[in-house]
Amino acid sequence: MTKTKILIRGALALALAGALMTAVLAAPAQTPDPTPQTMLARTPPMGWNSWNHFHCGDSESLVEAQAKAMVASGMKAAGYEYINIDDCWQGKRGPHGNIHPNSRFPNMKAMGDYIHSLGLKFGIYSSPGPKTCAGYEGSYGHEAQDARTYASWGVDYLKYDWCSAREVYKPDQMQAAYEKMHQALVATGRPIVYSLCQYGLQRVWSWGPSVGANLWRTTDDISDHYDRMILIGQEQNGLGRFAGPGHWNDPDMLEIGNGGMRPEEEETHMSLWCLLSAPLIAGNDLTKMTPQTLAILTNPDVIAVDQDPAGNEGYRVWQEGPLQIWMKVMADRSRVVGLFNLGFSPEPITVNFGQIGVGSTEQVRDLWERKDLGTFHGSYTATVPGHGVVLVRITDN
């Protein structure tokens, strides 16, 4: 065989391997057989959680004010629907073991009814251990009892946080502990989204659906700092095959509007979470949003990336130092591409159409500007600010 033929065959083999890799990475996520649990959260849940901004300082009146603001601000119209109370709502158990809220939440049923009256859904928090992270009553030994109580209050979403469970369960009992609450929720007959919070331990993404989870935390806690947010987002690369309709990787809640990041960094936060098909759970004070915060949280073109019905998770296709390109395949086979600059100064980034599996002539739309940019041939280049992003949708011409 001549040297020329060997080189040609080698090039063809490399091209075929690249095409196969693109096909595998772009393939729709594998969805478990339908069950009552996997029929929930067919797109990533959207809502609000009390922890990031208020920690243990929430109350019934504060939560109701957040629910009212979600509607009045237009966030409900944009797709946000869950109002989730995090840790610190629990009081003591009664003589028969039933959990009661503390004095800051005098009537959970009434609060749930108010949330539902606004067309929203009600979420709550507990732990498989005897205590929550903040030291309140957990569900250990009371799983079925607590699930029935939550259902009677009208709860639609449970965040279940490992915390003190490590004190009563061995590591190899983690899945059984989460399965116990799953079965308790199913037994109530009420559809309740099940959110695991155990920080990605034991490769939870590989077994979360088997214990009925609709979403599972893949990392430790986020904080309102760019460096922490971008690290958590980057760690999601390669997890896409474990997610899809009814079961999602969760890189933690949004910090947008809490004051620790610049606008371009918050756009990076929102863009990356939407490319990742991550749950969009706002963690700010909805009653005091600036127009800029609201615009970032409710941009319909960007939210559509997260809520795309195919449920594909985006992944990194190129990196050069602090410059990265991420890509997500949409249900209509268009590509959403994020050009990320993790550096400090503006830099040009070029996406070549061949590397994302599209044709040579494509239409490009800027999703943050909500503007069609026209027809491009072979590639698209944008100058991206430091710590910023340019998010575009690339469609066949």
- 220, 221, 301, 366: the catalytic one is 221
Name the pTM for this structure. Answer: 0.91
- Mean pLDDT, range 38-45, rounded to an integer: 92
Model pLDDT for residues 94-131, shown as the tens digit of each residue: 999 999 999 999 999 999 999 999 999 999 999 999 99
- Mean pLDDT, range 50-78, rounded to an integer: 98
Residue 38's pLDDT band (cuts 50, 70, 90): low
Quick check: is 221 catalytic?
A: yes
Contact call for residues 147 and 184 (beta carbons, < 8 A): yes
Contact call for residues 106 and 59 (beta carbons, < 8 A): no
pLDDT higher than threshold 80 for residue 21: no
Would you state the pLDDT for residue 245? 97
Quick check: is 161 catalytic?
A: yes
Residue 34's pLDDT band (cuts 50, 70, 90): low
**Per-residue tokens: 158:** 């449970």
Contact call for residues 217 and 250 (beta carbons, < 8 A): yes
- 58, 161, 250, 285: the catalytic one is 161
Mean pLDDT of the chain: 92
Apex CA 88: angle with CA 84 and CA 90, to 5°? Answer: 95
In the chain, the domains with their CATH numbers are: 46-306 (3.20.20.70), 314-396 (2.60.40.1180)
